[in-house]
Chain A
Amino acid sequence: MLSKVLIANRGEIALRIIAACREAGLATVAVHSEADRDCLHVRMADQSVCIGPPPAKASYLNIASVIAAAEITGADAVHPGYGFLAENAHFAEVVGECGMTWIGPSPEAIRRMGDKSQARRTAVGCGVPILPGSANPLTSREEAVTLAEEIGFPVILKASAGGGGKGMRVAVDARALHHAFDTARMEAERAFGVGDLYLEKYLDHPRHIEVQVLGDQYGRIVALGERECSIQRRHQKLIEESPSPAADEELRTRMCEAAAAAARAVAYTSAGTVEFLYQDGQFFFMEMNTRVQVEHPVTEAVSGVDIVLEQLRIAAGLPLSLKRRPRLRGHAIELRINAEDPVTFAPSAGTITELGFPVGPGVRIDTHLYRGYRVPPYYDSLVAKLIVWGRDRQEAVRRARRALDTFLIGGVKTSIPLHRRILEEPDFLAGRLSTHFLDRLIRPETG
């Protein structure tokens, strides 16, 4: 049994969790930084506690403060939302040690899926395909070429210490790989102090497709179908939809089975997402996100399942409210509205001077905005999620366009104009998507 849930988060997701708690008859405690005193989650929760100064490190990421807030308010459960401490296994453990219920997967499952190489081993162990590549750092150019010929070109070299494209090279044949190897190693050495490289198969037009899963404490794992999240910039998703335009029932079944197998391998409980890269009929395990995701409403719209409410049920020790994978109904698209320049992507903090929401069938808006709210410069730029539903993709797109046209946000720059542009792109309308879509749209010459 749960009675009072502390929400260790802010913004729209804190409001989303409060909504689920209210529906479940649970009391809520909001925590906030000094910069978030005037946030809606602080007003909507039954109780609130200021836990620190504006920087997240000193407030939302401060485990001692969050736990102390739970203790002084008598909360008996903690929902971490997404981001901040959501995938911090240590925090999950502390919550448990303090006698409270953690609304999420076990610390053990978070750890096993949080470590990239361990997660890959787990996937292989339960028969889920991963992108072929080198298991250990490459020792020589010759080893690289031999391996590349084995798995097939093109391949990509990556720095083990990785990040930001440094030490990264795509090679289309053995000759190119020969040349790329030394430069990549030198670049990696200069950037990270370690020249270790590994190699994997390069997908030149991959889609990001992920599967939502739910697991209860009785070992039941149910997949809720897939989401296509290929429209992203620097691994930040911008538009998500379900079902994926690339998936038929056969692919959906295969991906859902793979995702459920991976979740089962770590005895997964709560909501989680298994992410895959997909290209030309093949899919490869990337990672598992052990939390509720930003884009969960897309799945809620087509499956009819309230994912956050299921998280509460699972944490309370109740069985999942569904026995098997639900049939997806219609088509849903989520557009992330960020307070940022639609061209330069520079964050745009400021006061909301005007606010008007779209109305009409098939529209859902998850947001913490209100007129007069000051978007602080300290946190994520996501200020609203527009989720549209239609009987098919075309209807969903039409509804998305008209919703964007009547979505009024004054005082800060937002990504609304960029969304409006994407919704006219022939490739988007045809469902021809890849993770390179947005880069090519923004900088056509480098595509």
Chain B
Amino acid sequence: MLKFEELCQLIRVVAEQKVSSVEIEQDGMRIRIDGPPAPLPAGTPLLGGSLAPVAFSPSAASAPGASTDGQGEGIGADEAGLVFVTSPIVGTFYRAPNPEAPPFVEVGAVVRKGQVLCIVEAMKLMNEIESDVSGVVVRAYAENAQPVEFGQRLFALRSA
């Protein structure tokens, strides 16, 4: 059977190589991965400057419509007792106050309630996102400079 990592790699390859579709059958299990929609043949665009296929949601290698805030993954056993800090706005996520500075927090850091964890930039405004609880940062979900949606998970904390 395919390992999860192998499956992820396969999805990346399909997306990057613009493969239209891949189907694998193994041990009674069948997986089909559809690539991005093929561009229209040259000469057909009415308006479009770029007809390049577009990648899915900023945060997502997931299927369209799939939840990107982690809620769709269900609460695993290891998530019990965790507090999630989610993005209160749409914008760009920054882990540090400026490109040269160290990140506000790293995984393993102990934080106080009200401590700044990151910045989400929207319309040139830097919004500091604070921790709702005192505790330990156990996971950071977003990459620096990554776009984030409303409600998307940014950090998981184990409250003290």
Contacts and interface: CB of A to CB of B under 8 A. Distances in A.
A232 to B, nearest CB: 35
Interface of A: 1-4, 23-27, 34, 37-38, 42-53, 59, 64-65, 67-69, 71-73, 98, 309, 312-313, 316, 318
Contacts of B45: 24-25
A49 B48 CA distance: 22
Nearest to B125: A64
A43 B69 contact: no
Nearest to B148: A72
Contacts of B122: 64-65, 67-68, 71
A318 B147 CA distance: 33
B26 interface: no
Contact of B92 (A45, A72, A313): A72
A313 B47 contact: yes
Contacts of B47: 1-2, 24-26, 312-313, 316, 318
A52 B65 contact: no
B90 interface: yes
B152 A47 contact: no
B90 A65 contact: yes
Given A25-B51, A34-B150, A47-B56, A68 B64 contact: no
Contacts of A69: 90, 149
Given A27-B54, A46-B56, A65-B90, A3 B49 contact: yes
Most chain A CB within 10 A, of B47, B48, B152, is at: B47
Interface string B5-37: 000000000000000000000000000000000
Given A27-B50, A49-B58, A71-B122, 4 more contacts: A4-B50, A4-B54, A47-B56, A65-B150
Contact of A37 (B56, B67, B148): B67
Nearest to B56: A47
Main secondary structure of the interface of A (DSSP, over half): mixed
A47 B90 contact: no
A238 to B, nearest CB: 32
A433 B22 CA distance: 58
B131 interface: no
B89 A47 contact: no
Contacts of A37: 65, 67
23 contacts: A1-B47, A1-B48, A3-B48, A3-B50, A4-B50, A4-B54, A26-B48, A34-B150, A37-B67, A42-B64, A43-B65, A47-B54, A50-B150, A52-B90, A52-B150, A53-B150, A64-B122, A65-B90, A65-B122, A68-B90, A71-B123, A313-B47, A316-B47
A72 B54 contact: no
Contacts, number: 108
B40 interface: yes
A98 B124 CA distance: 10
Nearest to B91: A68
Contacts of A318: 47
Contacts of A73: 58, 147
Nearest to A26: B48
B38 interface: no
Interface string B52-86: 01111110000011011100000000000000000
Nearest to B49: A1
Contacts of A65: 89-90, 122, 150
Contact of A25 (B40, B68, B147): B40
Contacts of A309: 46
A214 B122 CA distance: 34
Given A3-B50, A43-B64, A43-B65, A50 B44 contact: no
Contacts of B151: 34, 50, 53
Nearest to B47: A24
Contacts of B123: 64, 67-68, 71, 98
A23 B58 CA distance: 24
Given A24-B47, A43-B64, A67-B123, A49 B54 contact: no
Contact of B58 (A51, A64, A72): A72
A53 B148 CA distance: 15
